Amino acid sequence: VLVVVFGICWAPFHTDRLMWSFINDWTDNYLEVFQYVHIISGVFFYLSSAVNPILYNLMSTRFREMFKEVMCHGPHHITPRKHSLSVTRVTLRSTLSDAPFSNGTAVVEAEAEDGEMRKDETS
């Protein structure tokens, strides 16, 4: 939905730019169409900025939460949260890096899911 609205709002602007760039022989008809497209592109250009927060509010729980936090609480009332109110997906991953020694062996450091570092020597 956001991409479609974005495309609709910006299409007249790009049409305006293409007309200005590629029409060399301006007739009265071209000029009249260009004037309408120019006005419509300006309206839709600003409409895009006005519609964005409304669409994000309708589609994103996290946006609503952060907006309420920013608007309803001043900077002096911010309380740290232990977790987000929205449903989020947490992924765990391990990080591997090979650090070769000068004797040809390599130490593989792995960060386990519990956050503890482990080292294994390989040759």
State the Cα–Cα distance between residues 111 and 19, nearest whole angstrom. 57
pLDDT tens-place values along the chain, 123 residues long = 889 999 999 999 999 999 999 999 999 999 999 999 999 999 998 999 999 989 988 998 998 888 888 888 755 555 555 655 555 454 545 444 444 555 555 555 555 555 555 555 555
Instruction: List strands edge to edge, sheet with 117-122.
Output: 96-100, 106-111, 117-122
What confidence score (pLDDT) does residue 25 get?
A: 92
What confidence score (pLDDT) does residue 45 get?
A: 86
Tokens of 118: 């482990």
What confidence score (pLDDT) does residue 76 get?
A: 52
Cα distance from N-terminal residue to C-terminal residue, the chain: 54
State the Cα–Cα distance between residues 12 and 24, nearest whole angstrom. 19
What confidence score (pLDDT) does residue 38 get?
A: 95
Contacts of 97 (CB under 8 A, 6+ apart): 108, 109
Largest CA distance in the chain: 81
